[in-house]
Each structure stands twice: as C-alpha cells, then as structure tokens.
Amino acid sequence: MKVPLSEAKQQGAGGGLNRRQFLKRAVAVSGAVAFPFVIPASALGRGGAVAPSERIVAGGIGIGGRGTSDLQALMAESDVQFVAVCDVKRDRREAVKKMVDEKYGNSDCAMFRDMRELLAQRTDIDAVLIATSDRWHTMASCLAMRAGKDVYCEKPGSMTIAQGQAVVQTAQRYGRVFQTGTQRLSEANFTVANELLRLGRLGEVRTVRAHIAPWDSAYMNRAWLPGVPEPARDELDWDAWLGPAPWRPYNPSYVNGGWHGQYDFHTSCIGEWGSHTFAQCHVALGLGDTSPVFYGYVKNDSSDGMVTRFANGVEMVLQRGGWHGSCGARYEGSEGWVTCADGYSRPEVSHPSLLADYAKLVQDYVARTGRAQNHMRNFLDCVRSRQLTIANPVVMHRSMSTVHAANIAMWLKRDMNFDPVKEEFVNDPEANRMRSRAMREPWQV
C-alpha cells in the first residue's frame, strides 16, 4: 500500500513537529491571542502548488557539470525541495548553494564536505542526487540507501561486477528506489526504437549494435601523475576525493577531468558510452535482467567490432562508428532496421512506414508502463509509488556487468564465456579475480 509522503514523514519524525503540525499549532495559537496570521496559499498546497509536507526533500552529493544539469531537472519539478549539497570541493559547494538559493529565493541550502555528515544529520531528506566521478558511485549510493534515502545516481553505476551486486543487494535490503542516469531510456526517439523491436515490426532481430566512445582506449593508464602540494582541506579534501580508489599523490589534473582514462577511476572507452548503450540494448531485447554469455576478443585497443552473444543467440556488437551523434543504438531485423543517437530529430529506419505512428508508439508506451518520458520524473514518481524505475538496480548492474566483462576480455586478450546466473566466468580463475577490486578503507561495500 502506498503511504502518502506527508504520512511517511510523520511516522518517521521521531516525536518532533512536521511542517503541517507546526502550521496547525501556529493557527491555534494566533487565534487564541487574536493576532492576524496569514498563511501563503503555497504553504497549504493551493493554486496548483505542492504543500511542503507533500514535497520530496532532496539533497545532492558531488554536483559538477553533469550534476548541474541533473539538479536543474530535479528542481524543475514542483513537488521537490532541494535543501543540502555535499562536495569535497568548496567552490562546487558554494556554486550549488548559490544556484539553489536563487531558485527558491532564500539562503536555506546547507553545505557539507563529508557525505556521511549530510546523510546522518539531514534526516528530513527523502532522496539524494549523486553525480560524483565514477569511482564514488557505488559507495555513495550504498551509504545513502543504508541511511534510508532513495537514490538517483549518474552512470556508470559500478566500477566492477562486485560493486554492481552490492548496489542491487543494498537497494533490496533497505527497500530503496534507485535510478541510474541512463536518461536515454526515457527519451522518445529511443523509446520508439525499442518499441519497434518489441512489437515485432523489425521481424526477427538477431543483431543489435551498441555505440562505444570513439576516444580513449580499453587499455587504461595505470601510471601516476607527478605529485604537487595539496590545497587546504576545506578547499579540496583530496583524501575524500580519492574515496575508495587507491591512494596516489595529488595532482590538479585529476580533479579537472584528468581522471578519465585512468584505470583506478574510469571504465574505459567501453564504459564511457556503453553504460548508456548497453542498457538501451538490454532493455530493448527484454534482457535487462541478464548479460551476454560470450565476449569475443578483438585485436585493437578499443574493442571496436567485439561480438557479445546472449544465451538466446542474439548478438550485440560493440561499435565506434556508424552514427552521426553520440550514444547510438541500432537494431537489425529480418524485416527492417532502426537506428538512433543523440541529435537525431527522429530515428532512422529502413522504411518510412515504421515511423508512421511515431506519436502513438510513445503514447502507448506511456499508457502501458506508466513511465514518464522524463528520466528524473520517472525517478520521482517511483519515490512516491515505490515501483521500480526504468533504470533500476538490476538493469544497471546487468548492463554494467556487460561493460566489465568486455573490458576483462580486452585486458586478458582472449575470448570469454560468462555464466550470468552464477555471475562468474566459466573455467577462468584469472578473469574471476577481476570481478572485483580492492576498495580503500574505510570506503568498502
């Protein structure tokens, strides 16, 4: 049974007054002393506004460039109140506070350097937006869910197969809603492509193609940059920035985007876009709860052309080119094909008739699933309903397991067979040891 957000907050208030109780008591007191007491209509939820007691209270961890876009999408929803930000960089904390305070016309946004303090002190927070760099995603998500928060976390949701398992287990154990930031699962063009496959309009689909980033390499850098003196801890907490990653000396290049392509911090050119496009293909094929059983090593530095194969025989090919936009997916069937990427006004198809009912395909999908064509809205709707998001923990974990297995096949330079039920490589102890990485204390899941 769905519990209204206001009732849930009352149940978890620990004996204190919530906003609605406070207003009722204030009205009673004002009447007793005969002073006028005017309550804004917005505070009572009138005039289309959402009453404070019915709003989803949100906080943020690690809000940089991509996180700023997510935050803007979050605050665009009228039933959300963003109240606190945590970032190890002072300039980011202050920039987010300024943006939030200007949005709400107050100075209420609280700032934290340590996410543990935010999670412990702000018991009023229902949901957390996590947009740190990759190495922190699993740890921050698990800490937030253990603290009773629902989580919207940017991709990739994990750095290893074991980390993905931890996210799934934590969400299930604590009954938390989780959405990974593969937002193309909630965009009309990609929805139409998926529906054409699902409805059989393409005939029998035996091959899909997933876009991987056309830069960097599958063979990531493991060397350290030269160390320089660390800034003041309040300006940048370097130890916290590293988090679960192995310690190394400070260099500002890491903090300014230079962590990309580094083994300790990144998931390679495969994960950079594959975290999006693999999830797209998995979901379109109705295989969001599994991973391919075969990974064919290719002799290049990027995995371009790698063939992966699901247990039902469908092949997903990793591909750098073939789209005039980023994060593309292509589905090839016996009766037609569809391809789409960022920047396409409509998907490209083998015959125009496939798109004759484009709008109806989207409408029917929304009616069938109840999912908004808005990734953040889908998350917030699920926070209220407690239903699974489109990019739920299992979809994240299984598609990221495909990323990690493809990386391992490239690193070991051989074909791999994978058992998606046992979640282990078949007869390959060396590969199985690579399903996890050491995580630096105290940041361990």
Q: Which pLDDT does position 5 carry in this prediction?
A: 61
What count of other Cβ atoms lies within 10 Å of the Cβ of residue 277? Answer: 30
Dihedral of the alpha carbons of 135, 138, 140, 144, in degrees to the nearest 10: 170
In a domain, 137, yes or no: no
The pLDDT of 316-341, averaged and rounded, is: 98
| Poorest-pLDDT segment among 28-37, 42-51, 314-323, 336-345 | 28-37
Instruction: Name the pLDDT band for 48 (thresholds 50, 70, 90).
Output: low
Distance of alpha carbon 84 from alpha carbon 140, whole angstroms: 15
Strand partners, 82: 58
Are 188 and 43 within one domain? no
Lookup: tokens for 242: 């590293």
In a domain, 159, yes or no: no
Could you tell me the maximum CA-CA distance found in the chain, to the nearest angstrom? 83
In a domain, 392, yes or no: yes
Mean pLDDT, the chain, as a whole number?
91
pLDDT value at 49 more than 90: no
In a domain, 253, yes or no: no
pLDDT value at 28 more than 60: no
Are 188 and 40 within one domain? no
What residue spans of 213-291 are helical by DSSP H? 238-242, 252-253, 268-284
Cβ contact 55:122 at 8 Å = no
Q: In what order do the strands lie in the sheet with 127-130?
A: 110-112, 80-86, 56-61, 127-130, 150-153, 178-180
Strand partners, 331: 208, 338
pTM of the prediction?
Answer: 0.89
In a domain, 352, yes or no: yes
In a domain, 145, yes or no: no
The pLDDT of 226-244, averaged and rounded, is: 97
Structural domain containing residue 37: 1-48
Lookup: tokens for 207: 């091959």
Are 214 and 363 within one domain? yes
Distance of alpha carbon 6 from alpha carbon 56, whole angstroms: 10
Cβ contact 177:261 at 8 Å = no
What count of other Cβ atoms lies within 10 Å of the Cβ of residue 106? Answer: 9
Question: How many domains, in total, are found in the chain?
Answer: 2
The pLDDT of 148-164, averaged and rounded, is: 98
pLDDT value at 33 more than 70: no
Share of the chain above pLDDT 70, in %: 89
What CATH number is given to the structural domain containing 372? 3.30.360.10
Q: Which pLDDT does position 8 carry in this prediction?
A: 45
In a domain, 282, yes or no: yes
Dihedral of the alpha carbons of 40, 42, 45, 48, in degrees to the nearest 10: 130
pLDDT value at 264 more than 60: yes
**48: helix, strand or coil:** coil
Distance of alpha carbon 379 from alpha carbon 383, whole angstroms: 6
Q: Which pLDDT does position 38 carry in this prediction?
A: 43
In a domain, 325, yes or no: yes
Instruction: Name the pLDDT band for 52 (thresholds 50, 70, 90).
Output: confident
Distance of alpha carbon 194 from alpha carbon 289, whole angstroms: 16
The pLDDT of 77-87, averaged and rounded, is: 98
